[in-house]
Structure 1
């Protein structure tokens, strides 16, 4: 890739090295888009508000055009990064990315037209750090949810930072700027053409420093850096501006957040430091598993990470430095989607109060068989405590015991043989009692919110009332976005895909 080639194609180079042959201006029409107002001038691109000349269905969206700042002979990475983004954006869909509209070729005028996400990025919030803990947790949960959606679309972002995160009016996190990203189904031009680590210094993962660009857990490291900064007001690894400085994170760990902020709870420190582990395999296996912990603090399994109040000692640091000297991992062959496939969230929906012993045993055995084939799986055991649509609910039984706690105990009792048989640690097994009038809707919503990959649930035997009203399992099958396995008491388990 030679930036001088594009200089010759697009015009001559001005004093500052930027293309000036045909400068863009308000009112100009580029392809079918009219430039209305220049919104932003960044180091790598101009952002214009545009309108579509020939109205179409997509023209109702507010639109922006991103145009690269091409500097002749100076910054080929800018050109390659923009080319990467032009390839990647049409491959992505959903609420967590701007809707792609059109692109222009480098032979005429390179640009990308996309949906305009109203509002500011997270970058201004850095000036307000440390933030309230509730806001830190909410930001982390929403961004982790967005990351998991992109990872499922075979993308590793590789440049997660506050300036690349925006929010829709309903609070949905939107990730932008895919110039450094890698997609499983596209050539990795940055890896092919450059021999330097690619990313933003404070947020780069150790493996990115070592030229590994295909691990989705790199994005979890960057999110951990962001959560650390929002929690403490400090960057965990400073702001290095050299490869030598970047490599220090291979052996130097961050000051524990609780040492900088006394009201940081141990569970949040556990989550943040787990994201910042040097070895990817010691981090969360998926962004969905991280989001699940952030949404369920009481379920976070605490380790020594949660107790730390100072950095590692000199001897341990020296050992890390010594082993890091020769630790240069080769490029992984796995795709981003392969890592996610090994780290599913399995949701076991258990009716602990009404299911027969036979059905509970069959359900337990089915769950056990599924989990045993997925070494990185997270098992979320869910039970629904039915509440009345109208009127008051009894929250205690005849002995005055909490019905919620009673159901939670029953759920844990059901799962105990699974956890013991498979030696599941607490970090891979969580329990949730949902209070809802509609059990099926509660299960579907929990699965969707926590991005479950597989729901396993039981179905009671046929009856006239069940045929008339419909069953919880059939409703879950019809409305769920993921695979649903329905286990029946009289017969073998059957796999019912979602409608």
Structure 2
């Protein structure tokens, strides 16, 4: 079972007790084999145990000996420390999140570089979050009820509205990058490929590679076109689709086949994938997955407003009633089905708290 303690990454981490270490100056799980004898930041942060590891980084729980608090320390793998692309991505995460101060964004406290095993290795010190990622929850539990799916997505959109207003596009929203804390709060993490909005060309290509995760990649990301906030809304639509239908909107035998579908194919509405999904939610999901960014929601606030409206209607009227909807649904080879959409004000209050029990018991 996955470790219950999570922090700001890595986004595709393995169990904290699984396997041997593969970088950052050591070959095991013992803290003294990591960092500089178990210390990072000129001795300020004492590593206590590993939380997880991924393709780029290792994350440890640590004690901030100066302030006497527990934090998470993310270390770039030492074998990537000399790779300029990996190092730039890692450093950009610290720079992107350093200016963000919001309850729905995993906070960055500090960053820097240490010389570890002869290599200059960057590190990020983050808020330590107790909880599980949506990825873990989807693996371990049944799909959440539609109302909880809407609450989760509202929390993600609240974080995105804040980051977008501060000029930051996340560019990698996916289940592994969203945490439900043990108190039921929603937090977004891993701004590792985030990019500032200012500048004429904010594209998703880097050294010829598309940056992002195939199952949640917007068409413009897949094509290497200029990316803006609406790409995050597309990825959030993919996340909502998976929360409702327990599968992403597109699947395939290879990443390339999935990317092709994002560009070319119209997804099946989630209510046609699972009978448990109220068809009233199809409009919300399908609009967020429009191929043309101009056909999507134009801001996180706008999408969140409709998600909150849907949550209110589900609470008051239930689903599968035909008494309300969230907009038109475009079907492959068919004319859009008209709907009468009411909108809640975008402010709408804080709906980013998941009521207990948390998405059902583990399987």
Pair 1:124-2:145 in alignment = no
Q: State the TM-score, normalized to the length of structure 1.
A: 0.54
Name which of 328, 348, 362 aligns with 1:303: 328
1:63-90 CA distances to partner (integer Å, 9 max, x unpaired)? 1100011435996543231021122121
1:177 corresponds to: 190
1:138 corresponds to: 151
CA distance in 2, matches of 1:143, 1:210: 25
Name which of 195, 215, 226 aligns with 1:202: 215
Pair 1:24-2:49 in alignment = no
Distance verdict in 2 for CA 1:301–1:165, change over 3 Å: closer
Q: State the TM-score, normalized to the length of structure 2.
A: 0.73
CA distance in 2, matches of 1:81, 1:190: 14
Pair 1:79-2:79 in alignment = no
Moved more, 203-212 or 178-187: 178-187
Structure having the larger proportion of residues in helix: 1
Distance verdict in 2 for CA 1:43–1:216, change over 3 Å: same
Say whether the 8 Å CA contact 2:306–2:343 is kept in structure 1: no
Name which of 89, 102, 105 aligns with 1:97: 105
Say whether the 8 Å CA contact 1:202–1:239 is kept in structure 2: no
1:225 corresponds to: 238
Name which of 176, 199, 219 aligns with 1:163: 176
Name which of 266, 275, 278 aligns with 2:291: 278
Say whether the 8 Å CA contact 2:53–2:59 is kept in structure 1: yes
Say whether the 8 Å CA contact 1:103–1:113 is kept in structure 2: yes
Distance verdict in 2 for CA 1:104–1:186, change over 3 Å: farther
Distance verdict in 2 for CA 1:175–1:183, change over 3 Å: same
Note the C-alpha offset of 1:177: 0.7
2:357 corresponds to: none
Distance verdict in 2 for CA 1:114–1:188, change over 3 Å: farther
Say whether the 8 Å CA contact 2:180–2:186 is kept in structure 1: yes
Note the C-alpha offset of 1:171: 3.5
Q: Which has the higher contact order (CA 8 A, sep 6+)?
A: 2
Note the C-alpha offset of 1:183: 1.5
Pair 1:237-2:262 in alignment = no
1:130-161 CA distances to partner (integer Å, 9 max, x unpaired)? 33222212212222222211111111101101
Unaligned 5+ segments in structure 1 are 1-15, 317-424, 433-444, 452-499
Q: Aligned pairs, how many?
A: 305
Pair 1:264-2:277 in alignment = yes
Say whether the 8 Å CA contact 1:202–1:240 is kept in structure 2: no
1:110 corresponds to: 122
1:52 corresponds to: 64
CA distance in 2, matches of 1:69, 1:106: 12
Moved more, 37-46 or 186-195: 186-195
1:446-488 CA distances to partner (integer Å, 9 max, x unpaired)? 655499xxxxxxxxxxxxxxxxxxxxxxxxxxxxxxxxxxxxx
Name which of 39, 64, 67 aligns with 2:72: 64
CA distance in 1, matches of 2:82, 2:256: 20
Give runs of aligned pairs for residues 308-387 of structure 1, distance below 5 A: 308=331, 312-313=332-333
Say whether the 8 Å CA contact 1:81–1:190 is kept in structure 2: no
Unaligned 5+ segments in structure 2 are 1-20, 27-32, 314-323, 353-363
Note the C-alpha offset of 1:292: 1.2
